[in-house]
Structure 1
Amino acid sequence: MKVLVLQCKRFEILKRILDSFDVRCLKDADDNFLNSAEVVLAHSWKKLESVLPKLKNLKMIQAFSAGVDHYHFEKIPENVIVCTNSGGNSWGVAEHAVALIFAALKKMIYRHNEMLKGRFPQMLESKLLRGKVVGLMGLGNIARDLSAMLRGFHPHFMGISRSGKCDFCDDFMFVGTVKQIDFLLKNSDIVVLALPLTKSTKGLINMEKLQLMKKDAILVNVSRGKIIVEEDLYEFLKNNTNFTAALDAWWHYGERFKQNYPFEKLSNVILSPHCAGSYEGFWDELTIWAAENIKLFAQGKPRNVVKRGDYV
């Protein structure tokens, strides 16, 4: 099987795992190879889009990222399957979610800033995770790893997934479908968004949903910014100062941090620059995960196959 790699960082890992495959970097692939390549490992949509017309024998696109909301599926032939890289960095993202949760519970940013000003807010009460209800929206790899990490602190768990099924949720208080999101939001002390951005999840958390949540709840987003309505979250936070949002995903990206609303001026926001998936060794882990899925595809059992209807 011929595999085209669009960015050749960690190429030696790919060659080792795919030792029986013909694997080539884009710079080393002539037109004959492009024409006959069956699999492409894509690190960006822009580069993939530029080479797609030459991939006449393409059968599978393996994304390097966990999300493919930036793909233009109308430009991908119907017979080509697309697989995300979900799970490749789930442990690192889950650890970051833990950090955000505790930063919010313990008011770490506020205390730090106060001490920089010479103040000493010793007796300001923080919250315990013990006994709190953690609502996980999305019951995939991140939620699996996150719940495993948090169990030692003895919270209660609730979860929502598209199917309403979960293979690691035996101790959860409640597992439901998106139709039951209101129940989860009303009863959770901490809500973690760990689900893909699709047609059905875009704008899922709006003013109506935010108003269902507890007044002192914590909302953690380690997925995609556009799952939340930007204006609604800003206005809600501005008017509900006991509510905390810990955000690692945003609506607008560039060299400087700038959203349509000045979240950085709010005292009840913890800001994180979409870095949950960037940690020591993450590139290796993602490369291994992607390569292993290409092998699974060759065996006829790939994981993380995208449903086009979720995006088109």
Structure 2
Amino acid sequence: MERRTILVTRRLPGVPWEDLAKRFRAGDPPPAGTMPREEFLARVRGASGILCTLADRVDAELMEAAGPSLVVVSNFAVGVNNVDVAGATRRGIRVCNTPDVLTDATADLGFALLLSAARKVSDADRFVRAGSWTGWDPWGFLGVPVAGKTLGIVGMGKIGAGVARRSRGFSMKVLYHSRRRMPPSEEAGLAASYRDLDALLAESDFVVLCVPLTPETRGLISTERLGRMKRTAVLVNIARGEVVDEEAVATALAEGRLFGAGLDVFEKEPRIHPKLLSAPSAVLLPHLGSATGEAREAMGRRATENLLAALDGREPASPVN
């Protein structure tokens, strides 16, 4: 029986490409960086399975190029906004992701961004590296306090809950907004109180975005909504870049209508709005949410397990559709 074809679009932690290549027809080793679109379209022909990343667009064109043999798209990520899930479902293609294994790493980073923006860590670091520091200054890089302040979490899923748990050490009051309100027992467990979005923005000293990218959340944080936040507030985005209007955030920072921002994701990655690059009190990271060795290895293992399960006719551990 002829071996089936798979395509791994990039060299990834935890993905044993050499072992997969012994079992399946896998073609040339995957590149270290993002696979160019034309190469992706060419190499996917006749594939039964794809193991890809958020940088790989799996749309109708790609699925058409693969042909009827395609049965699974295993995404090395929690989000699947790079995949036309509805289109895949209509074609009978399983879509899988890698939840749970990156929850702690992403929640850690969210809180790191919160602290860094609050205490102007990036601005101060650049100041020192530039050789500008001449001695202690009682007016230098004054931040906002974190302990005892109000934390608003938009999207109280597993990552949002992780951020809430980390706030306990800072004695913070926790508010949250989600599509569905949690049962009272879960709210009590996190010491979290539900608010509608506008009320949460108005009350919170720190707002952390943990929502998935959907038609409802695209552009969620607009100029109007930024206007509801305190001038001393800090916005943190560990969700998806398209949830936030970057120009509106940069303008609010420049005009002093928002104290700080910690952003790990951007609207048009890897491009960043030029106004953000020069905005004060902005901590900008290159999509590091899950970037610990342990988390990325676990993501690769889960993505591989999902791929193999679907190809073997078994239920994947993390199906999306």
Give the structure 1 partner of residue 276 of structure 2: 263
How has the CA–CA distance of structure 1 residues 295 and 168 changed in structure 2, closer, same or farther, with 3 Å as cutoff? farther
Q: Which runs of 5+ in 2 are unaligned?
A: 29-44
In the alignment, structure 1 residue 171 sits paired with structure 2 residue 190: yes
In the alignment, structure 1 residue 199 sits paired with structure 2 residue 221: no
The offset of 1:104, in angstroms, is: 2.0
Q: Is the 8 A contact 1:13 1:287 kept in 2?
A: no
The offset of 1:74, in angstroms, is: 6.4
| Alpha-carbon distance between aligned partners in 2 of 1:190 and 1:41, rounded to the nearest angstrom | 36
Give the structure 2 partner of residue 247 of structure 1: 263
Q: Is the 8 A contact 1:88 1:290 kept in 2?
A: no
In the alignment, structure 1 residue 69 sits paired with structure 2 residue 76: no
**Aligned partner of 1:61: which letter?**
V
Greater alpha carbon shift after TM alignment, 122-131 vs 289-298: 289-298
DSSP-derived class of the 1:76 partner: helix
- How high is the sequence identity, in percent, across the aligned residues? 23
Greater alpha carbon shift after TM alignment, 128-137 vs 186-195: 128-137
Q: Is the 8 A contact 1:3 1:23 kept in 2?
A: no
| Alpha-carbon distance between aligned partners in 2 of 1:241 and 1:186, rounded to the nearest angstrom | 13
The offset of 1:75, in angstroms, is: 5.0
Give the structure 1 partner of residue 233 of structure 2: 217
TM-score by length of 1: 0.77
Q: Is the 8 A contact 1:14 1:291 kept in 2?
A: no
The offset of 1:208, in angstroms, is: 1.1
| Alpha-carbon distance between aligned partners in 2 of 1:243 and 1:293, rounded to the nearest angstrom | 43
How has the CA–CA distance of structure 1 residues 171 and 281 changed in structure 2, closer, same or farther, with 3 Å as cutoff? closer
Determine which of 170, 190, 193 is the counterpart of 1:153: 170
DSSP-derived class of the 1:283 partner: helix
How has the CA–CA distance of structure 1 residues 241 and 87 changed in structure 2, closer, same or farther, with 3 Å as cutoff? same
The offset of 1:181, in angstroms, is: 0.8
| Alpha-carbon distance between aligned partners in 2 of 1:131 and 1:52, rounded to the nearest angstrom | 54
Give the structure 2 partner of residue 24 of structure 1: 24
| Alpha-carbon distance between aligned partners in 1 of 2:118 and 2:15, rounded to the nearest angstrom | 42
TM-score by length of 2: 0.75
Give the 5 Å matches for 1:63-102. 63-73=75-85, 75-78=87-90, 79-102=92-115
Query: Aligned Cα RMSD in Å?
Result: 3.5
Q: Which runs of 5+ in 1 are unaligned?
A: 29-33, 307-312
How has the CA–CA distance of structure 1 residues 69 and 288 changed in structure 2, closer, same or farther, with 3 Å as cutoff? same
DSSP-derived class of the 1:26 partner: coil
The offset of 1:266, in angstroms, is: 1.8
Q: Is the 8 A contact 2:71 2:93 kept in 1?
A: yes
DSSP-derived class of the 2:151 partner: strand
How has the CA–CA distance of structure 1 residues 35 and 106 changed in structure 2, closer, same or farther, with 3 Å as cutoff? closer
How has the CA–CA distance of structure 1 residues 192 and 57 changed in structure 2, closer, same or farther, with 3 Å as cutoff? same
How has the CA–CA distance of structure 1 residues 80 and 157 changed in structure 2, closer, same or farther, with 3 Å as cutoff? same
How many residues align? The count is: 291
Give the structure 2 partner of residue 6 of structure 1: 8
The offset of 1:140, in angstroms, is: 2.0
